[in-house]
Amino acid sequence: MAGLTELSRSIRGKVALVTGAASGMGRATAHLFADEGARVAVTDLAADGVKRVTEEIEGAGGEACGWLLDVSDRAEIESVVAEVVERFGGLDILVNNAGISQPSPVDAEDYEEKWERTLAVNLTAHMRTIRACLPHLKRGGAGRIVNVASTDGLGATAHGSPYTASKHGVIGLTRGLAVELGAQGVTVNCICPGPIHTGMTAAIPADAKDVFARRKVPLRRYGRPEEVAQATLHLVLPASSYINGAVLVVDGGMLAQNHLASLRDSP
Ligand code: NAI
């Protein structure tokens, strides 16, 4: 039939930079964007992973190019963004996904070390990558930024205060820049994944994951990286032109659930 609506759900030909794209949700996002016809800058500090994901995309007939990028290094961010723009002729979409989790009780000897590293990678790097990409994102008049926070950006897990603080910060950064950049045609949104099967959660034993999911997640399971990538894709569509400053929870209903009820109802 002839289309009745105007806005496009296609990112074909758009240039997207994804940080932490070697694994987990970053890899799934790079795959999905490439499937949708975007030209993808695959960046990560893991060289083998960058190579693998780039080859996976090219092998499937998509367009990608890989860069080594440690997002805690300001100079590297600036040079990689410049190279991406030179290689692809512009930049339309930034997904700030790279992140680490280093649990630590607040009175541990190495707490401050973990705090510094976690804030540098999970929060300061988002701000720096946005600043480096911004002139290019503004140019097209419809730039898209998605920051990956966490359900720990809205609540907290014991012994995870550096991570929790960084993810609350990501939500604050998202809202602050959504308000600031909206008038310049750039939208800034944020994804809050719940428990997802990725490298970050790989060390948690399967039975512990099962118990957690049964008790805490209405869908009774961990999520898959691609299920989060689909939410990210939605936020970067041309059609999502009025979504700005949103905090999109992708957690199988975890935060919606009343914990007393979940303990009563779950095995
Ligand atoms: P992952 O460990 O599978 O992937 C993270 C990627 O980031 C890795 O490829 C790693 O090499 C890269 N990375 C780490 N430090 C980096 C740095 N300094 N520079 C560049 N790349 C770096 O983990 P996952 O889960 O896919 O993580 C993606 C994002 O999702 C993170 O921001 C994480 O905090 C967030 N998240 C994860 C959840 C989960 O249950 N897996 C839940 C909520 C949020």
What's the pLDDT tens digit per position in 3-48? 999 999 999 999 999 999 999 999 999 999 999 999 999 999 999 9
> What average pLDDT does this structure show over 133-149?
97
pLDDT band of residue 140 (cuts 50, 70, 90) is confident
53 touches ligand 1 (CB under 6 Å): no
CA distance 258 to 267: 16
- 220 CA distance to ligand 1 middle (Å): 23
Residue at token pair 């289309």: 3
Please list, in sequence order, all residues whose beta carbon lies within 8 angstroms of the beta carbon of residue 264, skipping any fewer than 6 positions away: none
pLDDT at 267 over 60: no
What is the SS3 assignment for 196? strand
**Close Cβ partners of 212 (under 8 Å, ≥ 6 residues apart):** 195, 204
Q: Which pLDDT score is estimated for 262? A: 57
Residue 223's SS3 state is strand
Domains of the chain: 15-203+223-253 (3.40.50.720)
Per-residue model confidence (pLDDT) at position 218: 97
Rounded to 5 degrees, φ, ψ at 26 are: -65, -45
Segment 244-264 mean pLDDT: 88
Retrieve residue 167's tokens: 């993810």
pLDDT digits (tens, 9 = 90+) for 47-71: 999 999 999 999 999 999 999 999 9
Tokens read off for 7? 């806005």
pLDDT recorded at residue 266: 55
* Arithmetic mean of pLDDT, 157-163: 95
Mutation pick for ligand 1 pocket among 95, 150, 198 (CB with most ligand atoms within 8 Å)? 198
Average pLDDT over residues 194-214: 98
Whether the predicted model's global pTM rises above the 0.85 cut: yes
Query: Would you name the residues annotated as active-site residues?
Result: 163
Among 152, 146, 183, residue whose Cα is nearest residue 166: 152
**What are the counts of helices (DSSP H) followed by strands (DSSP E) for the chain?**
9, 7
Q: Whole-angstrom Cα distance, residue 39 to residue 36?
A: 9
Between the CA of 4 and the centroid of ligand 1 the distance, in Å, is 40
In tens, the pLDDT along 85-107 reads 999 999 999 999 999 999 999 99
Residue 36 · residue 233 · CB < 8 Å: yes
What is the per-residue DSSP string for 128-156? Answer: HHHHHHHHHHHHTS--EEEEE--GGGTS-
Asked whether the beta carbons of 245 and 183 are under 8 A apart, the reply is no
SS3 238: helix
What pLDDT, on a 0 to 100 scale, did the predictor assign at position 258? 85
Calculate mean pLDDT across residues 129-135: 98
pLDDT at 203 > cutoff 90: yes
Reported in sequence order, the residue ranges of the chain that DSSP labels E, i.e. its strands, are 15-18, 39-44, 63-68, 93-96, 144-148, 187-193, 247-250
Q: Rounded to 10 degrees, what is the CA torsion of 66, 124, 29, 17? A: -40
Nearest CA to 145 among 181, 109, 195? 181
What pLDDT sits at residue 265? 61
Q: Which atom of ligand 1 lies nearest, measured to the CA of 72? A: 18
Tokens matching residue 58: 């090219």
